[in-house]
Amino acid sequence: MNQWLIIAVLIVFMGFWLLKCVRQVGTTDTPVQAVKTRFAKPDKAVPSGLCFILWPFEGLKLFPTGQYDLSYQILRGLYSKKSGEMSSQRMEVKIGVYFRWPRVDREYSFPVPVSEQETSPKEQLATNWGRVLGKELLLKAYYRLPIKNLLKADIEEFGKFFENTVLGAVRHRMSERTSEECRESQPEIEEEIKNYLLSEEGNPFFEVGIPKECLDIELSSVKFPDETEKAWEKPEIKAREAEAAMSEKKAISLRLEAYIEKGVSKEIAGLIVGGVEGQAMTIEQLRDLKILEKIGNL
C-alpha cells in the first residue's frame, strides 16, 4: 500500500514538474519571444512557441514583439545655429520614438567593433555597421535593460528610461544646424539622431541592443517664434501671389484669343475678358455701354 502511495505521489509530482517545465512562449493575442535563463543568467534566446526548461533551475524572461510608441517635447532651451546675419533662433519640437525588440530568427544592422589595424583614425570615427543575429541582441537587452517584467511594464517606464538620451540627441543635432535647415531638413536630421542613438556607447538604445531596423525617429513639429514664422511666410506669400497673377494673366490671354477667333472685335473681347480694372464686363454692361455710345453720337 505504501509503495503504491509513493508511486502515486511521484506521478503527481512529475506531472506538476512537467507542467512547470513545458512553457508556451507567447500566444496569438500576445506574441512574445523570450530569453532562457539558467541559475538567473541568460542562456539563449527562444522564439514564440513551446519551450522546455529545467524548472526551477531555468526560467524565461519574455520580450513582447509589438511596437512601443514614445512621445517627447522640448519647449525651451533649444536654439538653432547662428547663420550669417540671422542670430540663433529659439525652437520648439515634438519627437516621436518608435522601437521594437529584434526577432531571434533574423539578422540586423548594428554597430560592431572596428579593428585599429584595418582602418585609419578617420574611419574609426564613423559608425561601422555589421550584421548581428537578433538572438544576440536580445541577450544584450537581458543584461542591460533595468525593467524586469516587460509584459506588465507601463510605457512611462520606457519613456523615462530613454528620455535623457533622446532629448540630448535632439538638442545636440539640431543646435548644429541653422533655423532654415531645422525647418527644411527634418528627414535628414531624424536619420542623424537615429544613428547617434544607435552608435554611441552609453546610450540606452545601443546598450540594450536595439538594431537600426527596429528604431524610427519622427520630428512631428518644429516651431519657431511668431515673428520668425511670419518672416518666412512673407516671401512664400509673395511667391504664391506672383504665381497666381501669372496664371490669371495667361488665362485671360487664352480667353481673349478664343473670342477673337469667334469673330468678336478685339475691343469688345477685351471688355468681355478684362473689363474695367480687371473685372470682366457682363452682357448687360456691354449693352448699356453701346446704348450710351449711341446716345453720345446723337
pLDDT at 244: 53
pLDDT at 72: 95
The alpha carbon torsion through 155, 160, 164, 165 (nearest 10 deg) reads -40
pLDDT at 95: 94
pLDDT at 17: 80
- Grid coordinates representing 196? 547617434
Residues 216-242 have a mean pLDDT of: 62
Checking if the pLDDT of 226 tops 80, the result is no
Helix (H) or strand (E) holding 284: helix 283-297
pLDDT at 25: 85
* Ranges 142-156, 168-182, 249-263: which has the least confidence: 249-263
pLDDT at 264: 60
The helix/strand/coil state of 99 is strand
pLDDT tens-digit map of 123-154 = 444 568 889 999 999 999 998 888 888 888 88
- The C-alpha cell 519574455 sits at 62
DSSP character at residue 77: S
Q: How far is CA 191 from CA 52, 177, 212, in A?
A: 41, 14, 10
Checking if the pLDDT of 250 tops 80, the result is no
Which amino acid is present at 202? G
Task: Tell me how far apart the alpha carbons of residues 70 and 30 are, in angstroms, rounded to a whole number.
Answer: 20
- Grid coordinates representing 142? 537581458
pLDDT category at 27 given cuts 50, 70, 90 is confident
Average pLDDT in the chain: 77
Instruction: Give 22's strand partners.
Output: 52
pLDDT: is 230 or 82 the higher one? 82
pLDDT: is 103 or 273 the higher one? 103
Residues 54-61 have a mean pLDDT of: 88
pLDDT: is 100 or 16 the higher one? 100
pLDDT at 121: 46
Checking if the pLDDT of 237 tops 50, the result is no
pLDDT tens-digit map of 69-101 = 999 999 888 888 876 656 678 888 999 999 999
pLDDT tens-digit map of 182-195 = 888 888 999 999 98
Is 81 exposed, middle or buried, given 0-12, 13-18 or 19+ CB atoms closer than 10 A?
A: middle
Residues 162-181 have a mean pLDDT of: 89
pLDDT at 138: 93
Checking if the pLDDT of 290 tops 60, the result is no
pLDDT at 117: 41
Checking if the pLDDT of 104 tops 70, the result is yes
pLDDT category at 115 given cuts 50, 70, 90 is low
pLDDT at 246: 61
